[in-house]
Amino acid sequence: MSTLADLLAEHTTLSDAAAAHLQRLVAEWQLLADLSFADFLMSVRTENGDIVTVAQCRPNTASTVFPSDEVGRIADPTVNRQLERAFSADRVLRDEDPKWLGAVAIRREAVPVGFTDADGVIAVLTRAIDLTHPRLPSPLELAYQDSANDLCQMVADGSFPQLEGNPRGLSTPRAGDGFVRVDENGMVVYASPNALSAFHRMGWTAELTHTRLSEVAASLLTDPFESEDVAVMIDEAVGTSAPPTGPYREVGMRMEADARRATALLRTVPLRPRGASTGAVVLIRDVTEVKRRDLALISKDATIREIHHRVKNNLQSVSALLRLQARRTTNPEARGALTEAVRRVASIALVHELLSGSVDEEVDLDEVVDRLVPILVDVASGDATVRVTHRDRLGVLTAELAMPLVMVLTELIQNAIEHGFTGSTADSEIEVVADRDVRELRISVRDNGSGLPEGFDVATSDRLGLQIVQTLVSIELGGTLTMGPNPMGWGTEVNIVIPLR
């Protein structure tokens, strides 16, 4: 399915700034749909004069009137006559009488989308309201619709949505989470039952109506700095200066605040139709349980990382003990076996070290190889000076795949260093080449050494390192391993194919 950016590029020649404004509007218009109890369609005029729908939003507070997908459809001007007129208007245009769409009576309203940097209307929103079963609206519905009308006029003015910063990445409460309407003086006009419950959990025991919301919110918070911040945020939203120019110009009009008994996420939406302040909408969500689960996950994550750190320390201690034992051993064969054990333990310790600093149990293989190669070259036997390089990106893998794969690479590189350059003293090189897609990771380890012995078969080899490699690749990684001559010239090439899905 095409994205909004794709559809705008296909059908219009809007500037980047205008397209970005429409993207922000689509990111925020769920609030419009919920407050309006209505479906919203966004339409733009194409280069040949047609009007095409490029985005659609359904309400969470009412049933949809457009069960089918309207995106990509060319609008019929005979069905919605206000749509064509709205492209040259600066106000919301409403149908006088509802029209029937099957068994549903719909009243359409056309909301022009203004933009300060554009000459004219850049798009039109169609607000489709179901009037099949008219009834007397409740106080909540009246407060919702009154706020929605102000926001729609702000869309026409080009003042909604504002270019709001959100550096902490806080989510947006929905209207159904908790809705408070305040007037231009900051006094609460209406508070939904969910909003009352959220404030009661924060410690407010009286009614909210006819109270100054900034003072109420500030009195509930335990942190004095947060108390001052929430009061400033609400007062600036309901002030007569537009848009806000105080401290929330950069950090946004939302914050997470801790009260005595609960944690709440608050967001303010200024209402300034035609530049005149009519108050603000304050959305609130009780995130106490979410915050508690987040803290539990953070604690669990910290515990897992601490375990990786301690395992790494223990493995390094084991590696040091083995190295000491190897130095005191006079038997060359025993010394070689202990040295190989040092290298294997060190490679596993390196993976645990990276996992101890990771928050998602993933390992960057490129970093592992870059840090592992000097260790391998340092403990290599023989007089050859070997240069180990790798090109292309190995990428990031989960710990379940990274651990055995690092062991495989360690064995292959070490095997090439020790057995591939017998008698060689110069121009010895090992290259690790990666080729990765969404399904597989293909790794080639190539050297320019003496090559494989005559009649060599990896399946029947009695070398411990190659037996470890075969076992890890076939069982732990579910992949395949092949060995043969280096197609780039002298030496050997080992190819590993590992499925990623």
Q: pLDDT: is 359 or 373 the higher one?
A: 373
pLDDT, residue 249, reads 42
Among 315, 316, 340, residue whose Cα is nearest residue 326: 340
In this predicted model, what pLDDT tens digit does every residue of 277-327 receive, in sequence order?
A: 999 999 999 998 887 777 766 666 677 677 777 887 888 888 888 888 888
In this model, does residue 45 exceed pLDDT 50?
Answer: yes
User: What is the mean pLDDT of the segment spanning 220-249?
Assistant: 74
Q: Please report, rounded to a whole number, the percentage of residues in the chain having pLDDT higher than 70.
A: 91
Instruction: Please give the model's pTM, rounded to 2 decimal places.
Output: 0.63
In this model, does residue 422 exceed pLDDT 70?
Answer: no
Supply 321's token pair. Answer: 């003990």
Work out the pLDDT band at 379, boundaries 50, 70, 90.
low
Supply 207's token pair. Answer: 């009614």
**Least confident stretch, 75-79, 105-109, 138-142, 181-185:** 75-79
Distance CA 144, CA 179 (A): 9
In this model, does residue 383 exceed pLDDT 70?
Answer: no
427: left (phi over 0), alpha (psi -120 to 50) or beta: left
Neighbours of 27 (CB within 10 A): 11
* DSSP codes joined into one string, 220-245: HBSSHHHHHHHHHHHHHHHSSSSS--
End-to-end Cα distance, the chain? 24
pLDDT, residue 122, reads 94
SS3 category, 17: helix
pLDDT, residue 252, reads 52
Q: How far from 475 is each of 78, 240, 361, 481, 498, CA to CA, in Å?
A: 67, 69, 21, 11, 11
Q: How far from 3 is each of 8, 9, 492, CA to CA, in Å?
A: 9, 10, 48
In this model, does residue 407 exceed pLDDT 70?
Answer: yes
User: What is the mean pLDDT of the segment spanning 379-405?
Assistant: 76
The DSSP output letter for 458 is G
Say how many residues make up the chain: 501
pLDDT, residue 358, reads 66
* β-bridge pairing 386-391 and 279-286: unpaired
In this model, does residue 425 exceed pLDDT 60?
Answer: no
Radius of gyration for the chain, computed over Cα atoms and rounded to the nearest angstrom: 33
Question: Is the omega angle on the peptide bond into residue 243 within 30 degrees of 0, that is, cis?
Answer: yes
pLDDT, residue 414, reads 80
In this model, does residue 467 exceed pLDDT 70?
Answer: yes
User: What is the mean pLDDT of the segment spanning 375-400?
Assistant: 73
In this model, does residue 250 exceed pLDDT 50?
Answer: no
Mean pLDDT of the chain: 84
Distance CA 318, CA 312 (A): 10
Among 75, 102, 143, 447, residue whose Cα is nearest residue 281: 143
In this predicted model, what pLDDT tens digit does every residue of 135-186 receive, in sequence order?
A: 888 999 999 999 999 999 999 999 999 877 676 667 889 999 999 999 999 9
Largest CA distance in the chain: 101
